[in-house]
Amino acid sequence: MPSTERPVHADLDLERVRSRVSAYVYGNVLVLAAVVGCAPESVRSGRAVVIVLATMVTTYLAHVVAHRIGESVGRRQEEARLHLRAELRDALPIVTSGVLPALVLLVASLVGSEGTAGAVAQLVAALVPVVRLAGTGSVTARMAAGGPSRSAFWSAVGLAVAGSLIAVVKVLLTH
């Protein structure tokens, strides 16, 4: 039976696409948790920016290291080195997950947003990864053999809800 798997882009095989989608989801969930976990006063002080950027960078590094170790099992050294270069690129969606929320929080900090303005900035920063998670469904639907569908839409909504719940649980358990 022929495979229904197909690359999304001529330069990317399905393994690379899967790795990037996984990093995208993972990065957005952890950035969302970082934003939601920030105290309101941390928006004004700029600490929220540091928290989001630190989450973004450490998640990227941990992801690359974990994949480096896991993917080196059973590979020759040169093959493992090539895979590491691919993984460094594939994990970049983790970085992109934190850029816009950090910029929103940075602007809020620079203008001295307090009270309601700070809360609105934090809400906007939190909505960015939620919207990105919801958009993941349309991206993965394009990769699927059948293309976009009603189930893909509901999968996108479900992913945004699941990501939000994971972020809330993380905040509740760690704060």
pLDDT greater than 50 at residue 1 = no
Q: Is residue 9 part of a domain?
A: no
Q: Is residue 91 part of a domain?
A: yes
Q: Is residue 144 part of a domain?
A: yes
Interval 91-130: pLDDT, tens: 999 999 999 999 999 999 999 877 888 888 998 999 999 9
Q: Is residue 139 part of a domain?
A: yes
What distances in angstroms separate CA 8 from CA 1, 14, 127, 143, 159, one per listed residue? 21, 8, 27, 6, 21
Sequence-distant (6+) residues with CB within 8 A of 69 are none
If pLDDT is split at 50, 70 and 90, which confidence band does 144 have?
low
Interval 49-65: pLDDT, tens: 999 999 999 999 999 99
pLDDT of residue 10: 53
13-50: b or e for each residue (b if 16 or more CB lie within 10 Å)?
eeebbebbbbbbbbbbbbbbbbbbbbeeebbbeeebbb
The domain of 161 spans: 14-174
User: Whole-angstrom Cα distance, residue 137 to residue 160?
Assistant: 9
157 vs 31, more confident = 31
pLDDT greater than 60 at residue 25 = yes
Half-sphere exposure of 25 (CA within 13 A, CB side): 18
Q: Is residue 6 part of a domain?
A: no
92 vs 134, more confident = 92
Q: Is residue 47 part of a domain?
A: yes
148 vs 131, more confident = 131
Q: Is residue 133 part of a domain?
A: yes
Q: Is residue 81 part of a domain?
A: yes
Sequence-distant (6+) residues with CB within 8 A of 155 are 137, 140, 141
User: Whole-angstrom Cα distance, residue 175 to residue 173?
Assistant: 6
User: Whole-angstrom Cα distance, residue 32 to residue 133?
Assistant: 10
Q: Label residue 146 exposed, middle or buried (CB < 10 Å: 0-12, 13-18, 19+).
A: exposed
What is the count of structural domains for the chain? 1
Residue % of the chain over a pLDDT of 70: 85
pLDDT of residue 105: 97
Mean pLDDT within 154-164: 82
